[in-house]
Amino acid sequence: MPYIPRAIEPLLIRKFQTYKSVAVTGARQVGKTRMTKELFPEVRRINLKNPNLLTAANADPQGFMQSFERPLFIDEVQECPRLLSSVKDILDEVSDYGNYLFSGSQKWSLMEGLSDSLSGLVGIIELAGLSLREINRIHFNERFLPNESYIKDREKELKRYGDIWKTIHRGFYPELYEHPEKDWEDFYQDYAKTYIERDVYKITKVRDYQTFYKFMVSVAARTGQTLDYTSIASDIGVSVDTVKSWIGILQKTDVVFLLQPYCNSHLNRAIKSPKIYFRDTGLACFLTAWLTPETLRNGAMAGHMFETFVVNEIIKSFINVGKDYSKYVFYYRGKDKVKRKRVDASGTVHEETEESEIDLIIEEDGVLYPVEIKKGTNPTASDADAFVLLDKDLSKRRGTGAIVCMGEHKIKLRDNLYSLPIDYI
């Protein structure tokens, strides 16, 4: 089967050369095991899903580890937490790098064990789903930042992405691209079932499959929107506390992420609630029953799904260079009023007032880069009117802004504002 090279590979190789051990984390089915096999074919591999190996590891962790030469890849290491104490004893006694690679399908258990036992001895790599760049074999690998330098560098390797709605609908799990004949609905049906029965049950011992599935559907229907626990609780008939707990599970297992609001003393009218995004648009489409790219493109969720897709691609660009996106990427929504001009079909201009919102704010080196996301093809400068609110933050400088859209060409709308096709992500 064809392997799609991953943008984070150079970082993984570098960490394996500079850390005593490395762990590859990420959601179920994002390609952790396949990537490590491709990069380190000479490294011996053991999988603790093997009942015989697991029994031996639990019976005598120290003796088990001494049975294998280093370097060694241990998959599903979270199945035997006791093993990590023996690994620590070994790593404390050696000075060379690249002794162990760890991975596991249950990220929260893996990370808990690593932080308890191997703090300071393990480098962490987070693997996200496939990015558009990876799917299209684009080698450019810098985090998205809509300034002149990034745009100039990105233009050296631009490529039209084709039918983007087909990609949004299919999702970003490697198996769907390495096996294009695989049925989309069958894949996501099996994924959801396995996820709830194994991952969710492992954390909470929840036995009500149908209620948790209904919860996932309710959350998927709200992707790209401000998180409202009460609304979800009312939707599925459980308590707000249960919803908060279950949202935490979706976060721990990388099914969703919360985009935090940008707040400071100068923007005191900001709404403090985070926005929630599914990490994979294909899974969100499956759960909300958008069964074809065509119905999705023309449906009621098109705007939120397009925003979910763009935000995820930007987030991946940070993950793939080893940056913690949560320290750089935010959104803003406030009670400040912004005036917008709208032209109707007859050419009449209407002036409207609405609450202010900036889809993304990327903060780096004291500069704020605002980003608006529009699924249309012809954005105007007025779509970015809310960007001026960032000038209230006297401690930061507002940098170049961008409207990411479905247009075909880069257009300079103002001195500090570009309309950028999604090719530039």
Residue 23: CATH number of its domain:
3.40.50.300
Q: Which residue, 269, 290, 315, sits at the end of a domain? A: 315
Looking at the fold, whether 303 and 179 belong to one and the same domain comes out as: yes
Pair 244, 369 in one domain: no
* 137 in any annotated domain: no
Does 267 have pLDDT greater than 70?
Answer: no
pLDDT at 115: 77
* Beta-carbon count within 10 A of 43 CB: 16
- What average pLDDT does this structure show over 73-77? 93
The answer as to whether 102 is a domain residue is: yes
**Residue finishing a domain among 284, 315, 346:** 315
pLDDT digits (tens, 9 = 90+) for 121-144: 999 999 999 999 999 999 999 999
CA distance 335 to 357: 9
| Residue 128, CA distances (Å) to 246, 254, 358, 401 in order | 21, 9, 25, 26
Which ranges constitute the DSSP H helices of 281-389? 281-287, 293-297, 302-319
Report yes or no on 83 lying in a domain: yes
Residues 375 and 347 in one domain: yes
CA-wise closest residue to 104 among 4, 199, 5? 199
**SS3 call for 94:** coil
Looking at residue 240, what is its pLDDT? 97
Within this chain, do residues 276 and 173 fall inside the same structural domain, yes or no?
yes
Contact 224, 247 (CB under 8 A): no
Are 398 and 368 a contacting pair, CB within 8 Å? yes
Say yes or no: 91 and 179 in one domain.
Answer: no
Q: Is residue 78 part of a domain?
A: yes
Q: Looking at the domain assignment, is residue 255 inside a domain?
A: yes
Q: How confident is the model at residue 424 (pLDDT cuts 50, 70, 90)?
A: very high
**Local confidence band at 198 (pLDDT 50, 70, 90 cut-offs):** confident
Whether 240 and 201 map to the same domain: the answer is yes
pLDDT tens digits along 24-54:
999 999 999 999 999 999 999 999 999 999 9
Q: Is residue 320 part of a domain?
A: no
- Say whether pLDDT at 157 is over 90: yes
Residues 261 and 367 placed together within one structural domain of the fold: no
Candidates 344, 189, 373; CA nearest to 275 is 373
Domain count, the chain: 3
Residue with tokens 């591999």: 45
Region 343-369 average pLDDT: 81
Evaluate whether residue 283 is within a structural domain. yes
Q: Residue 24 has which token pair? A: 């590859």
Q: Give the mean pLDDT of 234-239.
A: 96
**pLDDT > 90 in the chain, percent:** 81
Task: From 286, 315, 344, give the residue that closes a domain.
Answer: 315
Q: Tell me how far apart the 2 most distant CA atoms of the chain are, in Å.
A: 80
Residue 112 binned pLDDT confidence (cut-offs 50, 70, 90)? confident
Query: Is residue 4 within 8 Å of 178, Cβ to Cβ?
Result: yes
**What Å distances lie between residue 74 and 36, 102, 189, 198, 287, CA to CA?**
11, 5, 29, 20, 33
The CB-side HSE value for 253 (13 A sphere, CA atoms) comes to 24
Question: 94-103, 107-116, 416-425 — which is least confidently predicted?
Answer: 107-116
Domain that holds residue 22: 9-126
Residue 2 has pLDDT above 90, yes or no: no
Considering the domain architecture, whether residues 184 and 84 belong to the same structural domain is answered as no
Query: Is the domain of 293 the same as that of 413?
Result: no
**Do 217 and 107 share a domain, yes or no?**
no
Question: What mean pLDDT do residues 257-280 have?
Answer: 86
Residues 44 and 85 in one domain: yes
Residue 371 near residue 340, CB atoms below 8 Å: no
**Same structural domain, 352 and 255:** no
Please give the pLDDT value at position 224.
98
* Phi and psi angles of residue 103, each rounded to the nearest 5 degrees, phi first: -155, 170
Is 66 part of a structural domain of the chain? yes
pLDDT band at 120 (very low <50, low <70, confident <90, very high): confident
Q: How many angstroms separate the CA atoms of 180 and 405, rounded? A: 27
